[in-house]
Amino acid sequence: MRNFSVLSDVEFEELTGDLLGAELNVLVERFASGADGGIDLRWRIDGQTFIGQCKHYAKSSFSQLLKSAEKEVPKLLKLKPAGYKFITSFDLSPLQKEKIYALFSNWMSSPGDILGGRDVDALITLHEAVERRHPKLWVFTGLQLFWAVRADIANRTSALKSRIERSMPKYVVHSGYQDAREVLETKNVCLISGPPGIGKTTLAQMLLAEHISMGYEPVVISEDISEAWHSLTHNTRQIFIYDDFLGEIAFFERMAKNEDKRLVDLIEKISSGSSKKLVLTTREYILRDAKKFYERLDHLDTRLNFLLELNAYSRNDRARILYNHLWHSEISSTCLREISVGGYKKIINHRGYNPRLIEYCTGGAFDVESSGYPDRFEATLNHPERIWRAAFDKHLLEEHRLLTLILCTLPRKAALDDLREAYVSLCSHSGISNAGRAFRDALEVLEGTFITIGRNEEGKPSVSHANPSVTEFCLARIESDSELLRKIIESAVFFEQLSTIFKHGDGAAFFSGGRVGRRSRLILLSAINAERDLLLASIRRTFKSRSPEREMVWQTDRGNSYMEPPGKFERRVNFLFQCLEKWGMDATAIETEVAFVIDRWKESEGGKEDAVKLLKRIESSSLASRLSEQAFHALDSWLDSTLRETDDWIHYAEFASHSGGLGPDAADQFDRFMDEEFSRWSPSPPDLEKMKDIAEDMGLDHLVSRIDEALEEESSEPDENYHREASSEVRSSVHEVSEGELAELFGRLSSD
């Protein structure tokens, strides 16, 4: 008999409805539990109404099933159907059928209207087309048969077997699965690409399970493509799975010399045959880079078109994933009732929704017994560090912890090389040698839990915390460990590491999800202030270091490019002023750094926007008047002599606004500049609103009128993206699940 335990009650009911519809050749309607007097299924024959009730009691006792059946009698007395069928996944004996029939004999023609597990199994055999529409059931059943017949393969792939069997009951079949099946059926090769955590591996395993159930032997490729060539046989149906085939961080980590050719040769061989299948997964950004580097991959994808890209889960997918986890888990009736009356909304609508967290909060390590379950669930989504604490303390080596912690001091998307340098320095100050060689291993251990590996704006490999709450967790560790804080300060290789950790404590850091509480910030700031002298020494030591931050900068000769912030030294001095103010120190302590920046201005070097901001602080500080005068004249000369772009004029106007304004010579120059800009740009120059403000300040009325005309012309131009955006919204709304449907789905959890 087929194994119905892989299905939830909703999935079993969907299967039953399809089977009855095929058997009776009628349309069988489905209703949510309690939506229509307890009806699960309804159909009409010759104008008469028949109803059916589904009880997915595969893991319960017969006494529990019989007690539940007794509760249906009052509903039938009220509904008075022409006929009634009672369907259950429980494997009923003839005597047990008679006991149930005694309850419903007034609405049944015989005990044959009661379908037990074996009866449902027999119907599935009769209606193969129905079975194919419910892949979880037939795939899982086929798997069990394959493992039983091929014990040698089951033993060889025991880890894979365990992962598939553990995850399949909670798996939600979505549109991507059907798309992948079609690609694999027609091309024999399916390349699944997408961002981390989207479900690439799970989908690949589902495809693998399906083909195993059809008699394909699984071959797991773990290192390089040569494993597939060595396992390839001529007379056997095989399915190969190659997870992260281009590497976990960057494609060059996985692709050995000539491996692209061997991979392409294998793909061409499999795609042209009939007894082999190949499933590959990779991250989208790695695939994009690999295509640029390996022409064979790009050409092959274009010719075979086997790529499948996964998108984020829909709201309906989120709901079904949550429901399946709840249904297949041992959760108290109290907790389920709280979820059913609206608690589910806190979870499926949460921006921190993650299948891994869903798994944890429905598992034995979580409190799934006492009241307040939705609130605990939401709190975990808000603060995933409650999960990470145990893993951080018990399962990570010290060098792994240090990598997670040092990320707090770097940009949100830290460049791989910058992270490595900061990490090695911290390990060295912590007495850990050979950290450079252990760096890659640490990344692999932490990826998917504490960190996420992706791409920064430059398209280069970057590392970030998996969730803003990881940052919060790490900051709490740093603030509670004064020795660790000292090591971070002493080991800093970038000035911005120090300013970042200070800003975290001062409350200036921004979190996109989760938020460091005010009390926590004050504790961290207090810990930092206690190390004031050490921090100031490290700040001076790293003042001229390169910056781990990058920003897009327009260069006339090269266009847009990413580089260190032009105003990094201005920002650093500004930060020093903030520290001195916080510590009540005199500004004369940073005269050397201020003089360094002024000397750069004299050479027309720096960031103009940051320079204007810094000048205001210099002039209002307790620094010697000579420094303020030098700063003013150096910046005035620099800004006045480099009025080439729109931004140059914006910064010069800002500078002049508190120093007497722009003179007549500047007005003539600006007038000529704008005339050239109107000639150069089509339809009009950028930043017209700001240019209008400058023209008004200079009294250039004719230019103001010209800018107004250009602004009016811009506002009258049609929005080319309007129709495209609207149609996109319509497409997404078609698949949106209604609030009523969600309420009905989760309402099942509180019914018998």
Binned at pLDDT 50, 70 and 90, residue 513 comes out as very low
Going by the DSSP 8-state scheme, the letter that residue 342 receives in this structure is: I
Give residue-wise pLDDT tens across range 627-647. 999 999 999 999 999 998 888
CB 143 within 8 Å of CB 205: no
- The residues facing 462 across adjacent strands are 415, 454
Measure the CA–CA gap between 450 and 356, rounded to whole angstroms. Answer: 12
Query: In this structure, how many other beta carbons lie within 10 angstroms of the beta carbon of residue 447?
Result: 16
Decide if pLDDT at 720 tops 50.
no
Least reliable range by pLDDT among 189-203, 456-470, 508-522: 508-522
- Residues in Cβ contact with 543 at an 8 Å cutoff, skipping those fewer than 6 apart: 495, 569, 572, 593
Q: What is the pLDDT of residue 391?
A: 74
List helix spans (H) across 481-590. Answer: 482-491, 495-506, 518-530, 532-541, 568-583
Q: What is the pLDDT of residue 247?
A: 64
Measure the CA–CA gap between 280 and 321, rounded to whole angstroms. Answer: 24
Six-digit token string for 563:
């580089």
Per CATH, the number for 135-309 is 3.40.50.300
- The residues facing 88 across adjacent strands are 55
Q: What is the pLDDT of residue 495?
A: 97
Decide if pLDDT at 157 tops 70.
no
Structural domain boundaries in the chain: 4-132, 135-309, 388-541, 565-642
**Residue 84 in 3-state DSSP?**
strand
CB 264 within 8 Å of CB 270: no
**Residue 456 in 3-state DSSP?**
coil
- The residues facing 463 across adjacent strands are 414, 453
**Residue 189 in 3-state DSSP?**
strand
Q: What is the pLDDT of residue 254?
A: 53
Q: CA separation (Å) from 604 to 569, 640, 658?
A: 13, 10, 21
Element (H, E) at 260: helix 259-271
722-729 mean pLDDT:
29
Least reliable range by pLDDT among 3-7, 16-20, 303-307, 665-669: 303-307
Six-digit token string for 415:
């460049």
Measure the CA–CA gap between 54 and 229, rounded to whole angstroms. Answer: 49
Q: What is the pLDDT of residue 592?
A: 93
Identity of residue 273:
G
Measure the CA–CA gap between 202 and 221, rounded to whole angstroms. Answer: 16
495-517 mean pLDDT:
64
Going by the DSSP 8-state scheme, the letter that residue 249 receives in this structure is: S
Cα angle 714, 719, 724 (rounded to 5 degrees) comes to 165
CATH topology of domain 4-132: Trna Endonuclease; Chain: A, domain 1 (3.40.1350)
369-379 mean pLDDT:
93
Q: What is the pLDDT of residue 438?
A: 85
Q: 708-711, long-range: CB within 8 Å, 24+ apart, which pairs?
A: 710/678, 710/683, 710/684, 710/685, 711/684
Cα angle 159, 161, 165 (rounded to 5 degrees) comes to 120
Q: What is the pLDDT of residue 517?
A: 39
Mean pLDDT of the chain: 82
